[in-house]
Structure 1
Amino acid sequence: MKIIAKSKRPASQIALELEIPPETSKQAYEQVVRDLSRKVKIPGFRPGKVPRQILVQRLGSKNIKAEALEKIVQESVQSAIDQESIAVLGNYQIEPTFEELVGNYKPGDALTFLASMDVPPEVKLGDYQALEVKAEEVKYEPSQLDEFLDQQRSRLATLVPIEDRPAKMGDTVVVDYAGRLSANEEGEEEAISGAEAKDFQLELESGKFIEDLIAGIGGMEIGETKEIPVKFPEDYAREDLAGQEAIFNVTLHEIKEKELPELDDELAEEISDFETLAELREHLESQYQEKAENETKGNIETALTKALVAIAEVDLPETLVSQESETLVKQSLMEMERYGLDVNQFFTSDRLPQLKEAARPEAMENLKSSLSLAEVAKLEKLEVDKEELEKRVAELVEQLSDRQLDMDRVREFVTDDLRQEVALDWLREKATVELVPEGTLKAEEEEAEAPEPDSETEVEPAIEVEAETVPDESE
């Protein structure tokens, strides 16, 4: 085998043009014929005694050539890879195609072909030592703590029947309801399957049910029956109802008001392991502050990573993109299983290529980020802390104790993750980071993406409404 030429190709590929000398071409073919004559059983002949002409006639010259060529290609390509010390990703491809090679192959004649293969991409970084970024600073707001405690009081509230006033927001009501779609062009109304209930208990709070229905029940008296117009949200879970207009016939039977427990030490003991409200408040405040700090850190790291990728040149090989896309699809599958969803409805063999294709942009972004950070760690000779590595590996093994793990892959995964963290810490020390109020950058992005109004069109001024802060229920 002789390497005629070695060249770089786009998408991080290397191509090797190989020449197989005549003697190797003939020897490979003759060896296959000898091996087949010993293995193939043909009636009337002992193993190894089958005449060559009959063997070739029975098996077919093309099939014998194909087997010889497969041996030639595999051995010569592997020899060339070893000779050039190439780190190959995935499988190699040959040109011309294998079928074309078989058609042109003549044992005893020289043979040339080209083998191309994906290799780890080169990463070229710009001036990564002087990055300047903006990141949103998340601050702890004392109102978060009060909102959490109010949620806990609401959860433990006692429902007290009310008879001397109409229903209002915050109440819990018992209703009968039945929904029907609004009249179509023929004036016909259609009952909505599944939109009917008797003695249904409902909290009159935003997000608990269909917003129009909750608003319509507000103000109703006990015993009152009312028709409430409803428009289902465009993103409603039932696709057949999304965006549809309907009428709900509602009868109100009961109104119950929440009687909240006192905000005292007794409540603290019931909802936590702390004996006093002061201790609970101190603990919650510390948690919220830590959460805010972590979110700010995450914003800084995201900004640094984006800035780094913006000055990096990475020619991604298809092998890595395909692997990362598949990983993202598998992660989605695991997430759906965790929520008890039937993944077989979504991940069919027909849909898998579409899902992988849809994941490609995110896969490419992930790869550019991780490879760029790995290059920073390499250039700056940053090392991963061994104790932290062993700790993370042990934690991951414990989390995945119900699965069979490849420990080499686990260790490689954790090492890569830690290497990125070390690189980010280093970048943060070197970079100029400007912290801006939360929501600032998002507003700037939206403003930049907004289309410019037509100069001839009169534009009404926008009405700014401050959104109510939604407490994080995960705390």
Structure 2
Amino acid sequence: MKATWEKIEKNKVVLNVEVDAEQVASALDRAFKKVASKANIPGFRKGKVPRQIFEAKFGVESLYQDAVDILLPESYVKALDETEIKPVDRPDVEIEQFGKGQAFVFKATVTVKPEVQLGEYKGLEVVQKESAVSEEEIAEELKRLQQRHAELVVLEEGTAENGDIAVIDFDGSVDGVPFEGGKAEKHSLELGSGSFIPGFEEQVVGMAKGEEKDVNVTFPEEYHSEELKGKAAVFKVVLHDIKRKNLPELDDEFAKDVSEFDTLEEFKQDIQKRLQERKEQANEQDRESAVVEKAAANAEVEIPDAMITSEVDRMFEDFTNRLKMQGMDIDMYLKFTGQDQATVKQQMRTDAERRVRNDLVLEAIAKAESISATEEEINGELDRLASQYQRSVEEIRVILSANGSLDSIEHDLIVKKTVDFLVENSKAVAEVA
């Protein structure tokens, strides 16, 4: 087999392939075995028709399409290996010659990874955010823990306030007509949470147990239901119970109840340590993201639309998988939001393009700086995965090979090392107050 290529556009090449006549003959043999098992010729059992009889009746040309279907994928993959072309989309194939006793000649127009012209990527200035934890942040964390461990007390007298849990019935209508999802009984609503339509919770504040009231609201223009956007609605509300949070005292007993510490002071010190670690980790991630974005912005690269579309498809698949983990499928989500798949995917394109650009630039920097993953590092990652999933390393290797993810281990390691390289060679500047 012969394979040559020539560049025709910035991100496109034409691959010219010639497969010798012997391989064509072999493909025709395989095609005949496939179709002979189904051929119905009087006097012969299926699968027992002689080749000469079959070709005399149907013509050798009847085997061509099956033979091409057999030979083309094999030849194309082999040609890619020989020429070291890395396609990013399906090829546009044109068959120029195929026949018994002839060579198989075809050309494939292939979209390939774009060339990246790197700009400045060393010495980039990135903001180093402050990681110190303030007394206000510690107090806020303690307040959050207070809320989590609060005891709910049912009030027999008084009116509902922000922060209370109001147990209500509600029945909504627009122009006197009920709408889907607008009715519920004994619903627990935390007042001030902002979980209902703007203006609803504010009108429940001040209601007493057993009180009935018409609550008038207007659905937001950006509401998920097309039928309700911007519409005025009336909810008939009945308040059954008011539950108020009884917050525990912030003292040593509280610390003992919610932590492993004996005193509130020890607990506060632990909170400060954990908050600072969290901040440092977040700041490091911000710095990594910032230096990658700057390096990508300084580079020049023309990204083929096929790469962006493929990334959108991957993002959409990840999104649908996350929905399933939350007990919702994509059809339910689309109905709830009033969107279709095309709209959701279009919203993902900007982020998809950014991801592809960043990945291409990081790959180019890794090549320029000879950054690679060692066998020891790859094996170390396999060991980590084996330990995480309680499988043997060989099992992990087989699983990753089966779903085509083994190469991604090396890719991810190189990306991480390249990001580390950019951070190490960047200049930290203080955050402007």
The TM-score range, normalised by the shorter chain, is: 0.7 to 0.9
**Are 1:375 and 2:370 an aligned pair?**
no
**Are 1:114 and 2:110 an aligned pair?**
no
Shift of 1:267: 1.3
Q: Secondary structure at the match of 1:250?
A: strand
Greater displacement, 124-133 / 318-327: 318-327
1:342 aligned to 329, 343, 350, which one?
329
Aligned to 1:272: 259
| Amino acid in the other structure paired with 2:116 | V
Shift of 1:293: 1.8
1:420 aligned to 386, 390, 415, which one?
415
Q: Secondary structure at the match of 2:233?
A: strand
Q: Secondary structure at the match of 1:313?
A: coil
Shift of 1:73: 5.0
Aligned to 2:63: 64
Number of aligned pairs? 419
| Amino acid in the other structure paired with 2:311 | E
Contact 1:138-1:437 at 8 Å conserved across structures: no
| Amino acid in the other structure paired with 2:235 | F
Shift of 1:297: 1.8
Contact 1:177-1:198 at 8 Å conserved across structures: yes
Contact 1:29-1:64 at 8 Å conserved across structures: no
**Are 1:313 and 2:300 an aligned pair?**
yes
Shift of 1:424: 1.9
2: CA distance between counterparts of 1:193 and 1:37? 60
1: CA distance between counterparts of 2:93 and 2:206? 76
**Are 1:324 and 2:311 an aligned pair?**
yes
| Amino acid in the other structure paired with 1:116 | T
Aligned to 1:179: 172
Contact 2:126-2:428 at 8 Å conserved across structures: yes
Aligned to 2:147: 154
1: CA distance between counterparts of 2:30 and 2:168? 87
Contact 2:27-2:70 at 8 Å conserved across structures: no
Greater displacement, 252-261 / 131-140: 131-140
Q: 1:51 to 1:110 in 2, by over 3 A?
A: closer
Shift of 1:252: 4.1
Q: 1:82 to 1:159 in 2, by over 3 A?
A: closer
Structure 2 unaligned blocks of 5 or more: none
Q: Give the alignment's TM-score, normalised by structure 1.
A: 0.71
Q: Secondary structure at the match of 2:236?
A: strand
2: CA distance between counterparts of 1:382 and 1:2? 33
**Are 1:436 and 2:431 an aligned pair?**
yes
2: CA distance between counterparts of 1:310 and 1:246? 48
2: CA distance between counterparts of 1:385 and 1:18? 35
Q: 1:238 to 1:396 in 2, by over 3 A?
A: farther
Contact 1:336-1:343 at 8 Å conserved across structures: yes
Q: 1:366 to 1:6 in 2, by over 3 A?
A: same
Q: 1:318 to 1:57 in 2, by over 3 A?
A: farther
Shift of 1:263: 0.5
Shift of 1:285: 1.0
1:180-226 per-residue CA deviation (whole Å, 9 max, x = no partner) reads 32x3xxxxx22345544555544322325444222112233455443
Q: Secondary structure at the match of 1:128?
A: coil
2: CA distance between counterparts of 1:80 and 1:193? 59
2: CA distance between counterparts of 1:253 and 1:158? 19
2: CA distance between counterparts of 1:286 and 1:396? 29
1:32 aligned to 28, 32, 50, which one?
28
Shift of 1:288: 1.4
Aligned to 2:201: 214
Q: Secondary structure at the match of 2:431?
A: strand
Contact 2:164-2:245 at 8 Å conserved across structures: yes
2: CA distance between counterparts of 1:300 and 1:34? 58
Q: 1:120 to 1:252 in 2, by over 3 A?
A: closer
1: CA distance between counterparts of 2:194 and 2:362? 41
Larger radius of gyration: 1
Greater displacement, 144-153 / 113-122: 113-122
2: CA distance between counterparts of 1:140 and 1:290? 10
1: CA distance between counterparts of 2:161 and 2:80? 76
Aligned to 1:203: 190
1:251-283 per-residue CA deviation (whole Å, 9 max, x = no partner) reads 445545433211112212222233322222112
Shift of 1:312: 2.3
Contact 1:180-1:191 at 8 Å conserved across structures: yes
**Are 1:191 and 2:150 an aligned pair?**
no
Q: 1:18 to 1:168 in 2, by over 3 A?
A: closer
Shift of 1:336: 0.8
Please provide the CA RMSD for this pair: 4.3
Q: 1:268 to 1:38 in 2, by over 3 A?
A: closer
Q: 1:397 to 1:366 in 2, by over 3 A?
A: farther
1: CA distance between counterparts of 2:171 and 2:31? 79
Aligned to 1:8: 7
Shift of 1:69: 5.0
Contact 2:31-2:66 at 8 Å conserved across structures: no
Structure 1 unaligned blocks of 5 or more: 184-188, 439-475
Aligned to 1:232: 219
Shift of 1:173: 3.8
2: CA distance between counterparts of 1:152 and 1:87? 54
2: CA distance between counterparts of 1:197 and 1:72? 64
**Are 1:17 and 2:16 an aligned pair?**
yes
Shift of 1:64: 3.1
1:385-412 per-residue CA deviation (whole Å, 9 max, x = no partner) reads 7776555544545666799873345553
1: CA distance between counterparts of 2:54 and 2:416? 63
Shift of 1:17: 2.9
Greater displacement, 295-304 / 113-122: 113-122
Shift of 1:60: 3.3
**Are 1:364 and 2:360 an aligned pair?**
no
Contact 2:24-2:102 at 8 Å conserved across structures: no
Q: 1:249 to 1:61 in 2, by over 3 A?
A: same
